A and B are shown apart, each in its own frame.
Chain A
Amino acid sequence: MTVSLRSALGFAAIAAAAFYALVVVPQGGDLTTMINGSIYASYAILALSLALIWGYGGVLSFGQAAFFGLAGYVYAVAGLNLGDTALAALIAVASAAAFAALLGYFMFWGRVSDVYLGVITLTVSLILYRFINQTAGEEWTIGAAPLGGFNGIPSTPIMTALGKPDETLMPEQIYALSVGALVVCYLICRLVIATRFGRAVVAIRENPVRAELLGYDTRFYKLGIFTLGGAIAGVGGVAFANSVFVSPTMFNLQTNGQVIIWVIVGGLGTLAGPVIGCFAMLSLSTWLGSLDGGGWTDPNLVMGVVLTFCVVALRKGLLPTALGLGERLFAVARERMGAPKLGEPRAAEDRP
């Protein structure tokens, strides 16, 4: 399958999925689906942010949820104090980006690499978790917002209609907003990858030494993609804050682990894959928990086996494996019909 055909098909699939999520699902009127949908979409945005920085930038952040949780908390605190939720959301995303930039500067200018980078990001996320987790006392109140410790902030404000601070959005609208944000973030990622900056980022992932020798300051590009990833994770955090409410679980070990699992299961090096992985794994987890009178199995057991299996047997993840399978079938079908074989090196014109 040629790249152009493949990306056209990809776009068609994404458009169809977005259409289904934004038009068909709300028609059904099933609130549960929509509320779960907005939670899943918020997590999917988080998965997308890791897909971008890990799959394209080669930066494995073990603590991506740090930005997710930070933005959620900033949104809740700013929203409770300012009353203007749109402004609060902006501040939240900006803080997540700024924090990512700061952390990125600390790591990339220190030439911290690979595993060590993973450890530092995870540790930073756990520090935030530990810190927020112990703010149950009333001395931890910022303006009108008690941080709430383990409980989180159940009074996290819900977005209001633009310009109408008294009109709180309905769950259906929050759902539309979350899915919309997911689609927009996806498109932003796509666009960024296609720019000169995005191509340089991919080149740096492929071979940082070579990129450096060609005049690219790799620290700068890594910082750029890491900051963008932080901002996108922040968007997810704000969406999550609106779908549920903010609590320290947003940046604990499990959340950080889950994001990585979604990306791996969905397929590293793709953007849509991790989103699919996220929806699949979350649905699985919710479904396992609603099995009445279970005990025959345990959600952890299933998740663990799925993850291990994906890494050991399905090396590339769901989406690339499925695409590969589809391509092979396609190739076989074409060969039977006597068409020329696919997969030959193609001329430069095919490339953007």
Chain B
Amino acid sequence: MTAAAPLLEARDLVMRFGDVTAVGGVSMTVGEGELRCLIGPNGAGKSTFFKMLSGQLRPTSGAVALRGRSIVGLPASRIARLGVGVKTQTPSVFDGLTVMESVRIATDALLPPQLARRRADEALERMRIPHLAGATVGLLAHGQRQLVELAMVVAQAPDLILLDEPAAGMTGVEVDRLGDLIVELARSSSVIVVEHDMAFIRRIARTVTVFNRGQVLAEGPAAEVMADARVRDVYLGKDAA
């Protein structure tokens, strides 16, 4: 473990389900404060890759290290405590709790009560949803639920934030706000975003990694990658048209 170890380093990650290979040997390094976008067609293995990073899936083979420390095989809760926050593809929230209760659950996990309370308030402010504090999460609209989930993640102030399609189901205004927010988040944490919305990607991205069929197809600065013919072929060709 050296001080120079990158925040996240994944090497040759492979995930097989029976005969199906969902991720076939992906390596990726993300540094402190980096904002990385993952793109790729449906079934390219992005969500599976995320789940291996967060500990929801145990890779068939390969290594994941957080600041040089291997996290393969650790339970998801342990990885979360090591500073990895996750927003899943479909909002994963506590339908039966209120917004405030939900966020408190997040802050309570890591912080003493006084601080937890303050951090929870701040998170709601940041998401601009303090007015929803007493509302039951299960009764909110889809976009609002996304924000609640984000608030829970943000409230924990993780070092690495994994966002799986955070803009899905949001209105235009909400998407814009979200973009600003992600950029802001990236000042204090490293962020990896999976997204389909290309305008959104262009707006926030610095480095883009393209997945295809469980492999990394290309990686580099956003503009460069999007100009890549192979990338246009497998992905943009359809979506960006």
Contacts and interface: CB of A to CB of B under 8 A. Distances in A.
Direct contact of A and B (CB under 8 A): yes
Nearest to B110: A215
Contacts of B94: 203, 206-207, 210
Contacts of B130: 348
Interface in A321-352: 345-348, 350-351
B96 interface: yes
Interface in B84-130: 85-86, 88, 92-98, 100-102, 104-106, 108-110, 113, 130
A351 B106 CA distance: 16
Interface stretch (A131-139, A194-202, A255-263): A194-202
Nearest to A269: B96
Interface in B127-161: 130, 132-136, 149, 152, 156
B97 A214 contact: no
Contacts of A199: 101, 104-105, 108
A143 B81 CA distance: 50
Contacts of A298: none
B105 A214 contact: yes
A183 B228 CA distance: 71
Contacts of A210: 88, 92-94, 149, 152
Given A350-B134, A351-B100, A212 B95 contact: no
A213 interface: yes
Given A200-B108, A206-B97, A212 B134 contact: no
A317 to B, nearest CB: 16
A227 B76 CA distance: 23
A218 to B, nearest CB: 7
A267 to B, nearest CB: 15
Contact of A347 (B81, B110, B134): B134
A180 to B, nearest CB: 32
A213 B134 contact: no
Nearest to A218: B77
Contacts of A99: none
Interface string B153-195: 0001000000000000000000000000000000000000000
B78 to A, nearest CB: 7
A215 B156 contact: yes
Nearest to A347: B134
Contacts of B95: 206-207
A209 B51 CA distance: 11
Contacts of A209: 56, 88, 92
Interface in B212-230: none
Contacts of A212: 56, 75-77, 80
A199 B88 CA distance: 22
Contacts of A346: 134
Contacts of A203: 94, 97, 102, 105
Given A196-B108, A209-B88, A215 B135 contact: no
A202 B96 CA distance: 9
B54 interface: yes
A216 interface: yes
Given A199-B108, A209-B56, A214-B109, A348 B77 contact: no
A20 B84 CA distance: 53
B156 A348 contact: no
A124 interface: no
A345 B104 CA distance: 18
A323 to B, nearest CB: 16
Contacts of A218: 77
Given A207-B93, A348-B133, A348-B134, A214 B106 contact: yes
Contacts of A351: 98, 100-101, 133-134
14 contacts: A200-B108, A202-B96, A205-B96, A209-B88, A210-B93, A212-B75, A215-B78, A215-B156, A216-B109, A217-B77, A345-B136, A348-B130, A348-B134, A351-B101
Given A206-B97, A211-B105, A351-B101, 11 more contacts: A196-B108, A203-B102, A206-B94, A207-B93, A207-B95, A210-B93, A210-B152, A212-B77, A213-B56, A214-B105, A348-B130
Nearest 8 A-B pairs (CB), nearest first?
A215-B80, A348-B133, A206-B94, A345-B135, A346-B134, A217-B77, A215-B109, A210-B92
Interface of B: 54, 56, 75-78, 80-81, 85-86, 88, 92-98, 100-102, 104-106, 108-110, 113, 130, 132-136, 149, 152, 156
Interface of A: 196, 199-200, 202-203, 205-207, 209-219, 345-348, 350-351
